[in-house]
Structure 1
Amino acid sequence: MIRVTFLPDGERVRVEEGTTLREAAIKAGFLNCKGDNCNSCWSLFEIGGEYKPGCTFELREDVIVNLNSRGENWKGENISEVTKIALDIGTTTITAAFFDESGEKIGSEVVINPQIAYGSDVVSRIEAINRDANLLAKMRSKLLKEVNQLIEKRHLEKVEEIGIAGNPCMEHILLGVSPSGIGGYPYEPEFKNAAQMNAREVGIDAGCEVFILPLISGWVGGDTVAMILSTGIHRSEEKVMGIDLGTNGEIVFGSKDGIITTSTAAGPAFEGVGITYGMPATDGAIENVRINEKGEVRVKIKGGKKAKGICGSGILDSIAEMLKREIMDTSGRMKWRAFHIHDGIYITQKDVRKVQLAKSAISTGVEMLKRELDLGAVKRTIVTGSFGNASAESLSVIGISGALFKKDAVIEGIKRALFGEKREAERIARESRWINLASHPSFSDGFMKNLGF
């Protein structure tokens, strides 16, 4: 029998030789998986400094497996001056930013959301909870453990308040509230209002207050409220489109005259999940790609370290460059089954197809929002998301033309709430409208039409 130890929890299981990582993780209680070789867990398992696919990697000897270790190295100093923390709890990653009393950012860190073991998207996690109600407590426990580790290892003594935003499912799980109502019609959350609580009431080991941003609907959450707050869409004189290229694909349209929101099931491809060599936009990720006329590839690696994988912006760049150099046609068909990017990291035909699904969901949502509501011309488009550093050229490939990429828009919105704009965040959530376009009869037709590049 082989002994498998999972860190950081220290859980040990014994399995037969030849057992896959996936099977061992399920036995240890760390994974909720259908076993369809989707690559969603590729960013989950690290053995000896290398990341292994759960479905295909077979265990032959005693091994230590690191879970969720692909966090971004701490960037910052003067940690003793931190008074406020902003937490963006995404489906795939958790981003923490630390601020002093003047609002200056002292540092930041990104880690994997450990809930990814229970599904790569919110629907999978809701379904898992519906099948086994005990998983709600397990998901919450893992999330809080990661959040507490982010805070505890900094030895923070002056923290006065923590601001938290996430999609509705993430905020529900954080508070130990079942998200089941979000998973089916009429998609109603158990709560929408903002919450001001003591940190220990939430489960965070800190002697401070916590502000949790309000939800707009069951599918548009506090992270979108934060994005609206930071970009100023709600105060704009002109019509602005805001797009969060995340798993839920939130789309915002509005101005000072009102905000309309929707969401589309884009899936986690833009965040690197389910991509063969995909990973979140943390150190070691290929975040930019260029291919010259000779077919030579140049890459930029986040953190300047050895490449471990490729994040969303690198994937979008790769697709844009392959189109430009006719390595791929507009239907998404590649000349070869895979194209080498850098140091053993490839983009495969399967990867391109997954990006097409995500791209089509976003494009169709944007088109329908404009058409169904007769919204007229959009003067500005702002794109955000936890997927790296996207260029306007690469965004145009997925049907988002003339867009400005705003990094860390959610974190900036949480910060604004912490530094005096809580009531404004509540007003945004209260006055914004949500429209369910995904169930519209013409959505599937538009989706098929927009699959191409």
Structure 2
Amino acid sequence: MNALTEKRYLTLPEPSAGDTLAARERLLAALPEGCRLTLGCMQQLYPVLHEAGYRVTVTLCPGAGGTDVVRVEPGDTTDRNYGLCLDIGSTTMQMELVDLLSGKTLAEAACTNSQTQFGANILDRILAVKENPDNLHTLQALTLDDVRQMIERCCAQAGVPPEAVSAMTVGGNTTMLHFFLGCDPWQVFQSPYTPVFFDPGVLRASELGLPIAGNIFCMPAIANYLGGDITSGLLMTDLDTREDLALFLDIGTNGELVLGCREFLLMGAGAAGPALEGAVSRSGMRAEPGAICRIKIGPDNRLRYETVGGLPPKGICGSGILDLIAEGFLSGWIDSAGNLQKSASPCICDVWDDTRQRNVPAIIYAYDGNVPLYFTQDDIGEFLTCKAAAHTMVATLLESVNVSPSEIGAFYLAGGFGTHYDLESAITVGLYPDLPREKFKILGNSSLAGAKRLLLDTGCRARLDQIRALATYVQFGEMEKFVENMQAARFLPHTDASRYPSVMRRLRERSKTFPPGKLAAERSGAD
């Protein structure tokens, strides 16, 4: 293991009448050239060196342009070295405390990002700063308070003092890292899209008021919409080293896509996520206790569901919506254009929509007490638009290099949505190409995992430089045939059904189970 930081045990010559070298210079003389002491470390030299008989352990951490000596401890503590990795999501923040000698995660913590006090949408927070510059300080303070609390919780769980943490790596999108560092992110969303930084460099934890001894490493961005969460995630793939082509897709509020190999990396981003995360439906919600997360329509034409935590249903999250559309399509409740078929099930009926002030067709998929939970025809349309955007990013990027989906060696799927959905449902609706299932690699929170990988392998710093050097950022809206491809992808699974042979096969199998007359005649319900 080649960890980001290193601890060295030193036996220094004790000062005498003939050796009056100062403590700082005495310590540096025993270290490689280019090392320098942080102020915090220098303040520890006396009385630590004197009381330890000049037998001490120093912690070396990469710094801006050299190596920083960030801590000095009495005796030999080289058997203990710790790091923190952090993912700053726009809604949720996650942290792990890692043993840098064994690679094991010793403690974990997560919290809701307190920035949400300014709005769930990132743009709301940016506009809040534009309207009142003082809000920038508040947003940074909220973020840093969250980070301090997670540090405290992780260290308490593992019995590790915060000052023993020798480094922290941080993943997050461009806006989140701007707020973390107290930089105005207005230019992230404002043409010509030149934010304060793409790579902020190595920072001292003390500059941010964080209680650890080591430095802070923020993952570098590629562009305004391709941030450090994506470069961090790419560390969990082999796109930058493999000979054949592979894809990386992270679907959250936005969708970020990377296509490439060791010779090039094409990258782009687009708004692909809100409907896929449940944001368009009145009863849509995050994957919290009570959210419907799994749906199946059985041979008896009845809809059955599972909820997060096994609690009574409160709404439906992204994975549940994906299942609902996929199962509805395979069972004849929804046609290829996304239209609800009222004759297919009594679960499909007109409901009053307060927002639109009219009756709309909908699938009533469950009840919250006596209150129906439903997904409307308009919700399906919004879902298809977002689904089409994600599909079209992949299709257009592949077309730009004259590559068919079958030529892709691996398809890496990142993000919370990519972790919890049913892969077959995603392919059934046409979200992803119909590839052999073994080509799909589920990464989970790749931003956090990549930050951990950097902690454990300092060679990842060179990989990040290589990834940025290989990267070419593309604007999907300006690419030829993007709009045409988008329209073709607004169907289930696609206007060209031959692209989805496995889905067509499942559809034929279901039609044998559900003859058309039987679908209309049998009574069904949401269990």
What band does the TM-score fall into relative to the shorter chain?
0.7 to 0.9
Contact 1:120 1:273 in 2 (8 A): no
- Deviates further, 217-226 or 432-441: 432-441
Q: Which amino acid aligns with 1:383?
A: L
Match of 2:422?
Answer: 391
In the superposition, relative to structure 1, how do residues 322 and 214 fare at CA in structure 2: closer, same or farther (>3 Å)?
A: same
Match of 2:373?
Answer: 346
Could you tell me how far apart the structure 1 residues matched to 2:86 and 2:316 are? 24
Match of 2:477?
Answer: 438
Q: Which amino acid aligns with 2:174?
A: P
Contact 2:365 2:375 in 1 (8 A): no
In the superposition, relative to structure 1, how do residues 445 and 209 fare at CA in structure 2: closer, same or farther (>3 Å)?
A: same
Tell me whether 1:116 sits opposite 2:112 in the alignment: no
Match of 2:402?
Answer: 374
Q: Residue by residue, what CA displacement relative to the aligned partner does 1:78-116 show, whole Å, maximum 9, x if unpaired?
A: xxx993322222223223233233222344444333333
Tell me whether 1:268 sits opposite 2:274 in the alignment: yes
- Secondary structure of the 2:487 match is helix
Long gaps (5+) in structure 2: 1-79, 343-347, 349-360, 493-527
**What is the 5 A alignment of 1:191-210?**
191-193=197-199, 195-210=201-216
Match of 1:426?
Answer: 465
Could you tell me how far apart the structure 1 residues matched to 2:289 and 2:456 are? 29
**What is the 5 A alignment of 1:84-233?**
84-101=83-100, 102-154=102-154, 155=156, 156-157=160-161, 158-193=164-199, 195-233=201-239
Could you tell me how far apart the structure 2 residues matched to 1:338 and 1:116 are? 31
In the superposition, relative to structure 1, how do residues 322 and 84 fare at CA in structure 2: closer, same or farther (>3 Å)?
A: farther
Could you tell me how far apart the structure 2 residues matched to 1:176 and 1:361 are? 33
**What is the 5 A alignment of 1:25-36?**
none
Question: How many pairs were matched up?
Answer: 373
Q: Which amino acid aligns with 1:88?
A: D
Query: Please, what TM-score do these two structures have when normalized by structure 2?
Result: 0.64
Radius of gyration: which is bigger? Answer: 2
In the superposition, relative to structure 1, how do residues 120 and 82 fare at CA in structure 2: closer, same or farther (>3 Å)?
A: farther
Per-residue deviation at 1:276?
2.9
Could you tell me how far apart the structure 2 residues matched to 1:398 and 1:162 are? 39
Match of 1:77?
Answer: none
Q: Residue by residue, what CA displacement relative to the aligned partner does 1:197-226 show, whole Å, maximum 9, x if unpaired?
A: 222323434444321111111110111111
Could you tell me how far apart the structure 1 residues matched to 2:212 and 2:374 are? 43
Q: Which amino acid aligns with 1:391?
A: D
In the superposition, relative to structure 1, how do residues 359 and 239 fare at CA in structure 2: closer, same or farther (>3 Å)?
A: same
Equivalent position to 1:244, from 224, 245, 250:
250
Contact 1:121 1:268 in 2 (8 A): no
Contact 1:82 1:106 in 2 (8 A): no
In the superposition, relative to structure 1, how do residues 267 and 339 fare at CA in structure 2: closer, same or farther (>3 Å)?
A: same
Query: Please, what TM-score do these two structures have when normalized by structure 1?
Result: 0.74
In the superposition, relative to structure 1, how do residues 346 and 130 fare at CA in structure 2: closer, same or farther (>3 Å)?
A: same
Equivalent position to 1:323, from 306, 311, 329:
329
Could you tell me how far apart the structure 2 residues matched to 1:221 and 1:426 are? 14
Equivalent position to 1:365, from 371, 376, 393:
393
Could you tell me how far apart the structure 1 residues matched to 2:301 and 2:147 are? 43
Per-residue deviation at 1:153?
3.0
Could you tell me how far apart the structure 2 residues matched to 1:299 and 1:307 are? 9
Per-residue deviation at 1:267?
4.0
Q: Which amino acid aligns with 1:389?
A: H
Per-residue deviation at 1:391?
2.3
In the superposition, relative to structure 1, how do residues 238 and 381 fare at CA in structure 2: closer, same or farther (>3 Å)?
A: same
Per-residue deviation at 1:437?
1.5
Q: Residue by residue, what CA displacement relative to the aligned partner does 1:53-75 show, whole Å, maximum 9, x if unpaired?
A: xxxxxxxxxxxxxxxxxxxxxxx
- Secondary structure of the 2:224 match is coil
**What is the 5 A alignment of 1:49-60?**
none
Aligned-pair identity (%): 28
Q: Residue by residue, what CA displacement relative to the aligned partner does 1:92-143 show, whole Å, maximum 9, x if unpaired?
A: 3223233233222344444333333444444444344334333323322222
Per-residue deviation at 1:308?
5.0
Could you tell me how far apart the structure 1 residues matched to 2:478 and 2:88 are? 26
Q: Which amino acid aligns with 2:400?
A: E
Per-residue deviation at 1:327?
2.3
Q: What is the Cα-based RMSD across aligned positions, in Å?
A: 2.8
Match of 1:26?
Answer: none
In the superposition, relative to structure 1, how do residues 119 and 359 fare at CA in structure 2: closer, same or farther (>3 Å)?
A: farther
Contact 1:89 1:170 in 2 (8 A): yes
Q: Residue by residue, what CA displacement relative to the aligned partner does 1:404-432 show, whole Å, maximum 9, x if unpaired?
A: 33222222211111111233223312331
Could you tell me how far apart the structure 1 residues matched to 2:202 and 2:292 are? 39
In the superposition, relative to structure 1, how do residues 127 and 255 fare at CA in structure 2: closer, same or farther (>3 Å)?
A: same
Could you tell me how far apart the structure 2 residues matched to 1:251 and 1:172 are? 22
Could you tell me how far apart the structure 2 residues matched to 1:259 and 1:169 are? 23
Q: Which amino acid aligns with 1:232?
A: D
Per-residue deviation at 1:285?
4.0
Per-residue deviation at 1:305?
5.2
In the superposition, relative to structure 1, how do residues 206 and 265 fare at CA in structure 2: closer, same or farther (>3 Å)?
A: same
Q: Which amino acid aligns with 2:99?
A: D
Contact 1:263 1:438 in 2 (8 A): no
Match of 1:72?
Answer: none
Contact 1:365 1:438 in 2 (8 A): no
Match of 1:287?
Answer: 293
Match of 1:314?
Answer: 320
Tell me whether 1:452 sits opposite 2:484 in the alignment: no
Contact 2:279 2:285 in 1 (8 A): yes
- Secondary structure of the 1:190 match is coil
Q: Which amino acid aligns with 1:392?
A: L
Could you tell me how far apart the structure 1 residues matched to 2:472 and 2:395 are? 17
Higher helix proportion, which one? 2
Q: Which amino acid aligns with 1:408?
A: N
Could you tell me how far apart the structure 1 residues matched to 2:226 and 2:110 are? 22
Contact 2:220 2:231 in 1 (8 A): yes
Could you tell me how far apart the structure 1 residues matched to 2:177 and 2:449 are? 18
Could you tell me how far apart the structure 2 residues matched to 1:342 and 1:253 are? 40
Could you tell me how far apart the structure 1 residues matched to 2:385 and 2:210 are? 37
- Secondary structure of the 1:234 match is coil
